[in-house]
Amino acid sequence: MKGYDLLDLAVRNLRQSKLRNGLTTVGISVGVASLVAMLSLGVGLQQLATRRLAGSGLFDTVFVTSRQDFRGFDKEDDAKAPNPEKSPVLDEPARTRITQLANVTEVEPEIRVMGEVVANGETHFGFVTGLPMSARENEAFDNLKGKFFSSDNADEAILLADFAKELDPKNPNALIGQDITLRYGERQALAQEPSDRPQINGGESSASGSGDDFGFSVVRKQQPLRVVGLIDQEPYGGMRTVSRGRIFLPVRTTERLNMAQFTDMRSSLRGGSGKTYMTLTVRVKDPGKVQAVQDAVNQMGFRTFSVLDATKSLRRFFTVLDLFLGIFGSLALAVATLAIINTLVMAVLERRREIGVMKAIGASDQDVKKLFFTEAGAMGFVGGVLGIVLGFAIGKAINFGTGIYLHRHQLPSEPVWIMPPWLVGAAIAFSIVVSLLAGLYPASRAARLDPVQTLKYE
């Protein structure tokens, strides 16, 4: 029998029992909707998490530390790595070598220092963070009030809006364009063995400039800065600093000011190695190249960390979540499958005579089987399409409800339910396949009917 005849007869037969077949089809659509809703929720949550991480600008970033300074949390990794005492120091030559690696676009030191801002005659404490010019692309600057740094060496500052409110509770925006004074600790190298210096010291013998060969002193300094902008949230979601930064300066400015950092205490103990970095932030051209850069830096003997490491466990979590959501979603479809079997078995019983007549006038067993398969497939297709529509409606309701909930908690609304295009096709195909599988038994039962018996029976 030709395809269109098969389809025509199948649709005609399905129309004969509109209510029963309609209910079965609705059952399938509920099953598909449930599956689609669950899987789309999984996809939505995963994308939400990924979006947050991607927006943080951390996906293309590798953090590099010296094994001398930090013992890792991964004992297995540490066992494979060189002896920490023999691993290299993260100094200027190392920074240069990392900069020269393929696909590396930027290597900047991680600078965070304590500071005080003097504004309107009052002093306010805050952490100062150095930002590279590339930070402009970070989502934190999407709602920047004012402008970004004019250069990476400018005496300019961008303040966190909360901090600006602290400085000027009445009109924080008025700070833009105004000058403030930053008070900070400058790290000054010791020229000789310290004896009577009042400052913090930790050297062995003298050195010059920022070499710190013999230790350093911390000297209080002041630097006038112009406030050029305000931002609502900290760049990189605050993940790149241990404490929340409130005052942001161009990274070159922070380097030029030679600000003393917490971690300088560790450097002072080492001695003889010149200026070292506690952490270098390496930006990679493409998130896909992060692993390669990470491997190359590891080869140099440094410890590396990237968000990819964190996302591995995140991806594992979402894979398991998707699996369980899929299983729960499939339960309704499993029930719908039983409904299809029931409907078609009933149809076989009711249409015994018709099947017998069809066989008597020339239908083969295969024709009969195909007819029931087509009926099952048609129900699966219609159920699948309706299921997608229903699932979409459920998803919209979930997003709407979540939006209201987030709004009430004064959080920005974000879609947690996302139906990817592939899921539309996959769900319909899955619905048809499941329906065809459900039609296996009724179809073979119909094909096996003995026409003599069915005609005699009637």
Q: 382-421 mask for another protein (x: CB under 8 A)?
A: ----------------------------------------
Distance CA 177, CA 339 (A): 71
Nearer to another protein, 16 or 181 (CB): 16
Q: At closest approach, how far in Å is the CB of 374 from another protein? A: 13
- DSSP 8-class letter at 245: E
Q: At closest approach, how far in Å is the CB of 395 from another protein? A: 39
Which residues, in sequence order, are bridge partners of residue 226?
A: 156, 179
- Would you count residue 1 as binding another protein (CB under 8 A)? yes
- Would you count residue 5 as binding another protein (CB under 8 A)? yes
- Would you count residue 151 as binding another protein (CB under 8 A)? no
Segment 234-263, which members bind another protein (CB under 8 A)? Answer: none
Segment 131-150, which members bind another protein (CB under 8 A)? Answer: none
Q: What does 15-60 look like in DSSP terms, one character per residue?
A: HHTHHHHHHHHHHHHHHHHHHHHHHHHHHHHHHHHHHHHHHTT-TT
Q: What does 418-444 look like in DSSP terms, one character per residue?
A: ---HHHHHHHHHHHHHHHHHHHHHHHH
Nearer to another protein, 151 or 366 (CB): 366
| DSSP-H helix ranges across 285-416 | 290-299, 307-350, 352-360, 365-408
Note whether 181 and 225 are within 8 A (CB): yes
Nearer to another protein, 186 or 354 (CB): 354
Cβ-in-10-Å burial (0-12, 13-18, 19+) of 265 comes to exposed
Nearer to another protein, 5 or 295 (CB): 5
Nearer to another protein, 198 or 362 (CB): 362
Q: Per the structure block, which two tokens stand in for 119?
A: 């504004």
For β-strands 216-231 and 156-160, DSSP reports them as parallel
Residues in the interface with another protein (CB under 8 A) total 24
Q: At closest approach, how far in Å is the CB of 362 from another protein? A: 3
Segment 15-74, which members bind another protein (CB under 8 A)? Answer: 16
Q: At closest approach, how far in Å is the CB of 344 from another protein? A: 17
Q: Residue 303, Cβ neighbours under 10 Å: how many?
A: 24
With CB under 8 A as the contact rule, the residue among 11, 12, 243, 433 that binds another protein is 12
Q: Residue 428: which of 393, 394, 378 has the closest Cα?
A: 378
What does each C-alpha distance from 37 to 51, 247, 386 come to in angstroms?
20, 44, 13
Stretch that binds another protein, among 8-16, 53-61, 222-230, 321-329 (CB under 8 A): 8-16
Distance between terminal CA atoms of the chain?
A: 26
Distance CA 331, CA 156 (A): 60
Nearer to another protein, 2 or 80 (CB): 2
Nearer to another protein, 27 or 451 (CB): 451
Distance CA 436, CA 434 (A): 5
Nearer to another protein, 18 or 75 (CB): 18
Distance CA 265, CA 218 (A): 11
Q: Per the structure block, which two tokens stand in for 147?
A: 């402008």
Stretch that binds another protein, among 20-28, 156-164, 250-258, 348-356 (CB under 8 A): 348-356
Nearer to another protein, 182 or 447 (CB): 447
Segment 349-378, which members bind another protein (CB under 8 A)? Answer: 353-354, 356-367
Q: At closest approach, how far in Å is the CB of 333 from another protein? A: 30
Q: 434-453 mask for another protein (x: CB under 8 A)?
A: -----------------xx-
Q: Which residues bind another protein (CB under 8 A)?
A: 1-2, 5, 9, 12, 16, 353-354, 356-367, 451-452, 455, 458
